[in-house]
Amino acid sequence: MIAGLVQILLFQGLGELVAKFFLPLIPGPVIGLVMLLAWLRIRGSVPASVDLVATAFSQHLGLLFVPAAVGVVMFWPHIRDHALAVAVALVASVVATMAVTALVVRALAKEDPP
């Protein structure tokens, strides 16, 4: 499990370096995730240690929403004052996420015929 965690954190660190020196507009963890995805794609399989860590993280993913919920409660008056802007941002981000996901699925489906 330690080896998988080290590999994931290595890619996050590399992503942070790339973001710091080359792409400051994109968050480092996002760049690291894309680099990890590229590495796994080139490798052709997911190492067992990385799979073990990813499975453990995904089983406890709900815990990551606790800080966000606390933030919503703390800033509720500000959110209520700007409810229209918040609603528009949420709808726009959901639509954008679905569109990008559809484009990625379409691109990946063309590469791997059934």
> 75 by DSSP, 3-state: which?
coil
What per-residue confidence (pLDDT) applies to 68?
A: 85
Q: Are residues 6 and 32 in the same domain?
A: yes
78 and 101 assigned to the same domain:
yes
Which has the closest alpha carbon to 86: 96, 78, 95, 74? 78
Residues 47 and 87 in one domain: no
For 30, the domain range is 1-59
Residue 48 shares a structural domain with residue 97: no
DSSP 22: T
- CA-CA distance, 111 to 114, in Å (whole number)? 10
3 and 54 assigned to the same domain:
yes
For 44: left if phi > 0, alpha if psi spans -120 to 50, otherwise beta; the answer is left
User: Which uninterrupted H or E stretch holds 98?
Assistant: helix 83-111
Looking at 33, 59, 85, which one is the last position of a domain? 59
pTM of the complete model: 0.62
Q: Map tokens 């690291």 to a residue.
A: 32
Report the number of distinct structural domains present in the chain.
Answer: 2
Task: Assess whether 70 and 113 both reside in one domain.
Answer: yes
pLDDT in tens, 14-55: 999 999 999 899 999 999 999 999 999 999 999 999 999 999
Let me know whether 34 and 80 are in one domain.
no
Is the same domain home to 39 and 77? no
Report percent pLDDT > 90 for the chain: 75
Q: Are residues 73 and 114 in the same domain?
A: yes
